[in-house]
Structure 1
Amino acid sequence: MAKKIDRVAVFGLGKVGELVAGMLVDSGFTVVGHDVAVGAVDPRFEARATDLTDPTAIRAALADVDAIISCLPYNLNIAVAEAAYDTGVHYFDLTEDVPTTNRVIELSERGAKAAFAPQCGLAPGLIGIIGASMAKTFDSVRSIELKVGALPQNPTGLLGYAFNWSAAGVINEYINDAEVVRNGNPQMVPAMTETERVVIGGVELEASLTSGGLGTMCQTYAGKLERLDYKTLRYPGHFAQMRFLFDELRLRNRRELVNEILVDAKPPVNDDIVYLHASVEGVKDGKPFRENYVRGYLPADIGGHRWRAISWTTAASAVAVVELVDSGRLPGTGFIRQEDISFADLCDTKAGQRFLHAGR
């Protein structure tokens, strides 16, 4: 019998982790937060100083909980997933890193006693849930095109960007090859290619392929449609500048230096916006049809604090998936693909209902 979720550990109490912990409390869970150093946090949950690079400390932190949400940098998640497998704890994360997810899948297929649901953030995560849910309403599907952008509302400079999300994660997405489906076949193609113009609410943007945003969707839809891809949305000219940085300045293999440069040049801002753009083409009700889901999510007041759009949209998606596993609407054991999650079910949770009442 699948373990019910009462106590949840949150690893990483940074930009998103603290809000994840607070939303879990709002949804009725008891929460214990862990970080290498603990400052002033929401008093409704316990916070412990823990070395989350130490496998022994990780296992000790999981000894008294039913589930773990990792809000750590992607390179730390494999150790957390392995500890969750060893201790029989439900595992959730926000990663976009493909090797990390492949390891989570391996663990889940080895007789896991709990649910393994990585990629519960925005992309992969919410955008795939939306696209797959739309596709299920079609008689047949020709293409699924997914796009997400977390951007400053008031951009400056040639990059037109601010690093409200992990710079290391963004660099990873820009450098690693992107998986797509073309003519029914999964393929790997260079990131920051196939750039196209996109207009949302009168705002001109550009979109380019980036890695990791599709999760397991390429494997799920291989041979079932002609085209599937995920692109990142940016203001016009952004990707040309990034290609100059990585290729002409030969910094592609110096990720730590690029990380330092970019965070210093484009620090976080509070006035951000998260754009979601999902499009499905095919036959619906016997006729050719294209359906779009387009939203622009702004910062929101939650628990007496103003939270950036990237923070609350990511946190709400992750916490909603935990609620669905706890309620039995998602399996309590084995690997959970984001494309198997119903967007309607997600919006029926306490955390997920925010997506129905926000956006423009």
Structure 2
Amino acid sequence: MDIKQTESLPMQKIAIIGAGKIGTMIAELLASCGSYAVTVLDRDADQLARLQTSQPVERQVIDIADEAALTNALGGMFAVLNAGPFQLTTRIATAAKAARAHYLDLTEDVASTRIVRGLAEGADTAFIPQCGLAPGFITIVAHDLVQHFDSLQDVRMRVGALPQFPSNALGYNLTWSTDGVINEYCEPCEAIVDGMLRQTLPLEELESFALDGVAYEAFNTSGGLGSLCETLAGRVRNLNYRTIRYPGHAAIMRMLLHDLGLRDRRPLLKDILETAIPITMQDVVIVFVTVTGMRGGQLMQENYANHIRSASIGGVTRSAIQITTASGICAVLDMLAAHKVRGHGFVRQEEIALADFLANRFGRHYETIGQSSRAA
């Protein structure tokens, strides 16, 4: 895909926090498009040295815990894209505000996002958290479908990043942040149930379904709804988000987290998972949204289903979760630079138009690499 500059935009200086799998993909997309001068910051010099991009980027070793040093490093930046661990969200967002740079992140962590929202109050720069896949793209899709109905009954959002060739009892390989996976399996989940905002338990409300002839399960995980509960409060009977896995995954994770007590020993669980479960670049991302409601006096249902697979970008095989997560935040950055997204205060993902997102040079990854379908 040619992602060279498609609009007459000034060259903007961008800071990417984190040189991991997702940070690397963001750097590749932005550095190769011709619109952004990219600096990648990480506290790990070896991680920065392993960064692979087809176009040169600036690399800077920095201790994120040093607030003054971080704020100074972000000075003069148009935007800060946070691809670091969710535990650092508040610190990075605070530094971005002090540096008067726009702030975007990928976090699914609910508590961190609340703090970012507080930082955004009265700010003359934009704070746009949760710009990845879920929350992020799935939120944009769900809100778009909602607009097609006169009144709503149910909104169901399902997302999974799965190995194309599962080979262990979990049916899972590591494709993104291990800390992030553990966090969404452990923290309370939000939902609207019978019109009321509820907290639900992670790994519960297990369901089974098939898509294109393949069997899956889905269960509650934290953070995937973003701010959609607040946006749709009073308008929808049921709203929920669940993570897709191959059958049997939830039972094993419940055993590890609850029966063996690893929910309270997360560093040990992280070590076990990263030691025993290999990383794969051969993955598939599944996005599945179903909205039911009234339209024209009839009860109707509309669906969005999409599969995105790993692909070669910049001469390197990139995983589907890298592609979808990075293209999400890059598309939002592009729209911010082009004044298609509000440039101040707290910006919710559901404020972003799906048509604008998919028309964007980065958002097109969701259309050209995967195959999407809608049915009414």
TM range, normalised to the smaller chain? over 0.9
Name the residue aligned to 1:77: 89
In structure 2, relative to structure 1, the CA distance for the partners of 1:92 and 1:27 (3 Å cut) is farther
- Letter aligned with residue 307 of structure 1: R
Q: Is the 8 A contact 2:76 2:99 kept in 1?
A: no
Name the residue aligned to 2:111: 99
Name the residue aligned to 1:274: 285
Q: Is the 8 A contact 1:175 1:252 kept in 2?
A: yes
Name the residue aligned to 2:37: 30
Structure 2: runs of 5+ lacking an equivalent? 1-9, 372-376
Q: Following TM superposition, by how much is the alpha carbon of 1:57 offset from its aligned partner in structure 2, in angstroms?
A: 2.0
In structure 2, relative to structure 1, the CA distance for the partners of 1:107 and 1:5 (3 Å cut) is farther
Runs of 4+ in 1 over 6 A off after TM superposition: none
Out of 215, 220, 223, the residue aligned to residue 231 of structure 2 is 220
SS of the residue 1:16 aligns to: helix
- Letter aligned with residue 25 of structure 2: L
SS of the residue 1:9 aligns to: strand
Give the root-mean-square deviation of aligned CA atoms: 1.3
Q: C-alpha separation between the residues in 1 aligned to 2:209 and 2:270?
A: 27
Q: Is the 8 A contact 1:299 1:307 kept in 2?
A: yes
Out of 247, 250, 266, the residue aligned to residue 261 of structure 2 is 250
Out of 82, 86, 111, the residue aligned to residue 98 of structure 2 is 86
Q: C-alpha separation between the residues in 2 aligned to 1:297 and 1:357?
A: 9
TM (norm. structure 2) is 0.92
Instruction: Confirm or deny that 1:200 pairs with 2:206.
Output: no
Name the residue aligned to 2:374: none
Instruction: Confirm or deny that 1:293 pairs with 2:299.
Output: no
Bigger shift: residues 43-52 or 295-304: 43-52
- Letter aligned with residue 135 of structure 2: P
Residue by residue over 1:154-177, the C-alpha shift from the partner in whole angstroms, topping out at 9 and shown as x without a partner, is 112221111111111111111111
Q: Following TM superposition, by how much is the alpha carbon of 1:284 offset from its aligned partner in structure 2, in angstroms?
A: 2.6
- Letter aligned with residue 207 of structure 2: E
SS of the residue 2:333 aligns to: helix
SS of the residue 2:217 aligns to: strand
TM (norm. structure 1) is 0.96
Name the residue aligned to 1:305: 316
Q: C-alpha separation between the residues in 2 aligned to 1:108 and 1:168?
A: 26
Residue by residue over 1:259-281, the C-alpha shift from the partner in whole angstroms, topping out at 9 and shown as x without a partner, is 11111121211211111111111
Residue by residue over 1:21-55, the C-alpha shift from the partner in whole angstroms, topping out at 9 and shown as x without a partner, is 12123161111111121214324321112222221
Name the residue aligned to 2:369: 358
Name the residue aligned to 1:185: 196
Bigger shift: residues 87-96 or 155-164: 155-164
Name the residue aligned to 2:5: none
Instruction: Confirm or deny that 1:132 pairs with 2:180.
Output: no
Q: Is the 8 A contact 1:5 1:326 kept in 2?
A: no
Q: C-alpha separation between the residues in 2 aligned to 1:27 and 1:301?
A: 19
SS of the residue 2:21 aligns to: coil
Q: C-alpha separation between the residues in 2 aligned to 1:55 and 1:320?
A: 28
Structure 1: runs of 5+ lacking an equivalent? none
Name the residue aligned to 2:49: 39
Q: Following TM superposition, by how much is the alpha carbon of 1:5 offset from its aligned partner in structure 2, in angstroms?
A: 7.6
Out of 265, 273, 284, the residue aligned to residue 276 of structure 2 is 265
Q: Is the 8 A contact 2:76 2:101 kept in 1?
A: no
Q: Within 5 Å, which residues of 2 pair with 1:114-193?
A: 114-193=125-204
Bigger shift: residues 33-42 or 249-258: 33-42
Bigger shift: residues 43-52 or 62-71: 43-52
Across the two proteins, how many residue pairs are aligned to each other? 356
Q: C-alpha separation between the residues in 1 aligned to 2:34 and 2:360?
A: 8
Bigger shift: residues 151-160 or 22-31: 22-31
